[in-house]
Amino acid sequence: MALKTPLGWAASRWTLSTRALRWATTSALIVSIIIVFTGGLVRVTGSGLGCPDWPTCEGSSLAPSAELGIHGVIEFANRLITAVIVIAVGWVIIAARLQKQHVRSVSRLAWSQFWLVIANAIAGGITVLVGLNPWVVALHFVLAIALLATTTLTWHRVRETRPGAEGTISRGSAALAWVLVAATVALIVFGTMVSGAGPHAGDSSDVPRMQLDWTTFTIIHGVLGALVFALTIALLRASRGTDARARLIRRRTMVFVVVLLAQGLVGLLQAVSGLPAALVSFHLLGAALVWVGVLRVLLDVRPALFAGVGGSRQTAADS
């Protein structure tokens, strides 16, 4: 007799509703967005070394002492968010496995969240141990964005009611959606470089910055933002059909346009006002929302991505 994993043994005895899985994926998505914001808050408030040790905060203590002040509290709170996301991702893994009709692709996405949380926690620890090296800080942010990608994909997959809305889309539009995602990735990566070369080091002016021409990279970042906006408008124009799928893509793309415009406005305001900490934090939050938005556009244009056989039927039947 084949040996069962603990989750396999539990799945043979109990099941969870699709509603439970939906709530689980929603919680994981929300917390993965929050952790991007709180990570930015740590940086702009100079709390990156608020907890000088890792995995403990100070010496053998997990919590900050009064001597560490508000910076210790902010850094410790960000670490607590990591604990919350571990719980949320664990809930996703369990809920995905205990579905009446187990969809392997959803379980794989759930487990990818777990490993990315682990990788990000390790990167966060290394960030502290190397004194906030800006390249390691950038890697920490990129891993957070990768986690956000998996939580978004999982959230989307468990909510679809069929493989895709009726209708077809041209190969050109499908390719355009991929180019849009690639341009957004470049936009985010150059954004991390702008931050790494800029004034918000995460602790003090003594923390080394990326040895890059900040003005040049800021201009490149802005040009990439304009490119992403232009590609979005091009995709919107390419989805002029009257069938259900074209209408769905247009709606999703219009939402993405609004998010892009809001993010661009925040970026412009922070540039002309001397990069105030509050606006920088909200710009990082906007980056997370832009990433979620472009992935949802891609998933509507390419509905077969990461779709497991039977996943859509399960969602419809258990609603």
pLDDT digits (tens, 9 = 90+) for 141-185: 999 999 999 999 999 988 875 544 455 677 778 899 999 999 999
Is residue 313 over pLDDT 50?
Answer: no
52 vs 117, more confident: 117
Q: How much is the average pLDDT of 40-54?
A: 83
pLDDT digits (tens, 9 = 90+) for 217-255: 889 999 999 999 999 999 988 887 767 778 888 899 999
pLDDT digits (tens, 9 = 90+) for 248-292: 888 999 999 999 999 999 988 988 887 787 888 889 899 999 999
Is residue 66 over pLDDT 50?
Answer: yes
Residue 6, exposed/middle/buried by CB under 10 A (0-12, 13-18, 19+)?
exposed
Q: Which of 83, 67, 69, 76 is nearest to 31 (CA)?
A: 83
In whole angstroms, give the CA distance from residue 99 to residue 315: 10
Q: How much is the average pLDDT of 196-218?
A: 76
Read off the pTM.
0.86
Domain boundaries defined on the chain: 15-313
In whole angstroms, give the CA distance from residue 253 to residue 264: 16
